[in-house]
Amino acid sequence: MHNTFKAALKTGKPQIGLWLSLANPYTTEICATADFDWLLIDGEHSPNDVRSILAQLQAVAPYRSHPIVRPVIGDNALIKQVLDIGAQSLLVPMIDTAAQAQEMVRATRYPPQGVRGVGAAAARASAWGMQTDYVQKANDEICLLVQAETKTAIGNLDAICNVEGVDGVFIGPADLSASLGHLGNAGHPDVRKVIDDALGRIIRSGKAAGILTADLAEAKRYVDMGCHFVAVGIEARVLATSVRTLRAQFNGDAAPATPKGVVY
């Protein structure tokens, strides 16, 4: 049950990932063959539920890529279910305060450090009881990442980073740009300035800093800044772009324009 992703973050070696939005274990397994360091199974903006997340965790299991699950909301009961089906790393959206971050730490830990319900003997997380020391070791192997994606979160960023048990903070550019008054324009100079400053603050705090961008030059810039986990695309967008380009090539048309400088 060793969490290789959490261990890698501690080494400081950048972990490069891919967002999964298609909510399908078949396409998830295809993406796992690409050997990304991590794959984000998205339950916030994709039609995933606990069962479809489980199927994708099973699809990724034979491969090197580490699965991270983003639940639709930081709900204690839902987090309990996601952990019991075998997720070790979570990315919780819309964390605005240190108190909310602390509550997520408690949701992911067994007592006395937290409030996670104990039912692992009947769960995939412990291989249905085969791993007899699961409950003793689970707290140390959980990797908790939280998303800061509003003006309020940026104002509270230092306090969020100081919460013990939070392993990393992910900047959500799309929602942050909306919160800053630039809906749909995460590349706006004012937004980029806030993002760069926030990532720098996370890095200086000693926590892992993360972000998602489909602009490869921008992704490399974030890595050069010291970001620890960077997603470089969304599989749904990769598929959409590829099939449109293929059709255009067959027709002899110019390939559809790919947005530049877009951060999702």
Pairing of strands 208-212, 168-171: parallel
- In whole angstroms, give the CA distance from residue 219 to residue 24: 26
Which amino acid is present at 106?
R
Q: φ, ψ for residue 92 (rounded to 5)?
A: -100, 125
Q: Which three-class secondary structure state does DSSP give residue 218?
A: helix
- 188 catalytic residue (yes or no): no
- In whole angstroms, give the CA distance from residue 24 to residue 98: 34
End-to-end CA distance of the chain: 32
CA distances from 137 to 110, 131, 205 (A): 10, 10, 26
The structure tokens 């559809």 sit at 256
Asked if residues 255 and 245 have their Cβ atoms less than 8 Å apart, the reply is yes
Out of 45, 66, 182, 188, pick the active-site residue: 45
Task: Locate 83 and state its tokens.
Answer: 């952990």
Compute CA 202 distance to the chain's CA centroid, rounded to the nearest angstrom.
Answer: 16
The DSSP H or E segment spanning 20 is strand 15-20
The answer to whether the bond into 189 is cis (omega within 30° of 0) is no
- Catalytic residue annotation: 45
